[in-house]
Structure 1
């Protein structure tokens, strides 16, 4: 598809069904996406005027419904993709370079044959691109050069997992163009998590990446984190009278990575004291039986966080069952 063809399809309304499926069907929403995609097409053309053969990609943010801070302990979660996403217009090159530009930041470049962790670039866009490429390389997939212009509707630090959406966006582009879509959503999510943990330098569970990769409303059981159980929850929330409202509070958790990591580390400390790696491996009754001994080696906050895990993990599973039964009162 050429830039001209994309613009023509937007202006003619040919893409309105796609926009409706992704963002909602009301007229103002559709028109806002016309403006957004036309702006992205114009900016791509200005940056890469000689690159007219393009593809368009999208990856969504996510909201957490149930299972707060359970995923990094291999627990159960309920979460949903949202209609705030990152879109990308992409052309491919033979330069061996990924050029990435966005409405939010100037162009950065990453060579496709330089895949080692770079400590000086942790926390940057470059680190995530490099990490995703490295994840695919570990599966024998070589990334081609590409020119990317992106526009994100996901506020950074808003709790909607903009980093996971970005990882899934880059992963989807590589998977589609360089791998014949041979990587499934679980592997794609694991590659994104690897990029975030190792290259970007931030701890995370697997929920964010899985939900962005899967789309829709999902129940996820991470007891076997290498082969998680994923289930689309088919429930019509609008017919039941429910709507998820996302509010921009004007704040950010972008500078709270250390606090997030502390939650995971403190839960794991409790698990380690009981001879396990994560809390999911521990029987809840055993935890409470050994609580007097644990008080001698764990802080009160660590123990309260462990209690939170057991309660929240059970709650997520019960919520999923209630939704399967169509029981919103439960």
Structure 2
């Protein structure tokens, strides 16, 4: 049964169309976004679909194909406040709420969501839902918003309705991505530009190694890291850690306690790695960024302390099996690692990582290759 047929079965009417928004993988630049820094994600070739129709009242009815019972969550946009909706429905409803809060006139909607983006794998399944709903509402209500503006709407939905203090990277990648390219985003100015990422042409693949260790951005670990960054910036007398260079770290080491210093050092050096990766992609191609991936993981493991045994094993075992570079990706505390590998080595690296997990007594990882894909838009 097609998504449109399932929509009609659940809601009793045909959808106005179907929109899609991809998940994302971050090539490099972790926990830099909310520090006004730089990130380099790309939209992946796995997406969330939403079948949508406009309603004449202010009700929002949301359902998903991953609900076996066919449950429909019903809420009303009139008088809706931040935090009023919980669970997964907070993401799509939050987008409509954020659009209204921004002054856009829209009524309710019926939404049926189908996701091919693994949940909890650090591939931003939440932002994919937000962006699919955002482009659907943007078109159906003729709001005329561009991708950068819709990214801000998705971020507000996640920050205020869901309660997760995330930055702008995930939504920007999902909305602005282009096949064969990464999105270089300045999170302060919100300026985004496409950077060539010709994986296939260079005989390369990017493996996602989903450790199946679930994580949540709303947990204390993420929030405490963010607070440490704010404290570090305040003590160093700058608006955000983006304003510090590697040359400032010597002074920082004398002013900050050890833990705060290490948090700051990760963000400062990670920003430098993002900028270096962009230059290398423009001049030398994807192979050249492999050492930066390795260095990024060490920084996240030792300075930001957001790795876990499964992520470290994924990185170490993939490198031992021939990956050119490897690192954890996403918010941390679980989720996925990425490994840059030659196409001919995909099967060998995948088998080696799976075997390493088995010997360690961990859950079997889910491993698959992703390619840079186009961003969100209408599919039918």
Report TM bin, short chain.
0.7 to 0.9
Aligned partners of 1:327 and 1:108: how far apart in 2? 47
Note the 1:231-270 alignment, pairs <5 A. Answer: 231-254=193-216, 257-270=219-232
Note the 1:312-327 alignment, pairs <5 A. Answer: 312-327=270-285
Q: Which has the higher strand share?
A: 2
Structure 1 residues 69 and 90: CA distance shift in structure 2, 3 A: same
Note the 1:167-206 alignment, pairs <5 A. Answer: 167-180=130-143, 182-206=144-168
Measured after TM superposition, the shift of residue 44 of structure 1 is 1.4
Does the 8 Å CA contact 2:15/2:51 hold for their aligned counterparts? no
Aligned partners of 2:217 and 2:174: how far apart in 1? 22
**Where do 5+ consecutive residues of structure 1 fail to align?**
1-37
Aligned partners of 1:229 and 1:158: how far apart in 2? 27
**Where do 5+ consecutive residues of structure 2 fail to align?**
289-380
Does the 8 Å CA contact 1:129/1:170 hold for their aligned counterparts? yes
Aligned partners of 2:33 and 2:186: how far apart in 1? 7
1:291 and 2:256 matched:
no
Does the 8 Å CA contact 1:65/1:80 hold for their aligned counterparts? yes
Count residues with an aligned counterpart. 283
Note the 1:1-330 alignment, pairs <5 A. Answer: 38-49=1-12, 51-105=13-67, 106-118=71-83, 121-122=85-86, 124-180=87-143, 182-216=144-178, 217-222=181-186, 224=188, 227-254=189-216, 257-294=219-256, 298=257, 300-330=258-288
Measured after TM superposition, the shift of residue 157 of structure 1 is 1.2
TM-score where L is the length of structure 2? 0.69
User: Quick one: higher RCO (CA 8 Å, sep 6+), 1 or 2?
Assistant: 2
Measured after TM superposition, the shift of residue 223 of structure 1 is 5.0
Does the 8 Å CA contact 2:58/2:78 hold for their aligned counterparts? yes
Measured after TM superposition, the shift of residue 161 of structure 1 is 0.7
Measured after TM superposition, the shift of residue 329 of structure 1 is 4.3
Does the 8 Å CA contact 2:33/2:187 hold for their aligned counterparts? no
Secondary structure at the aligned position of 2:212 is classed as coil
Partner of 1:18: none
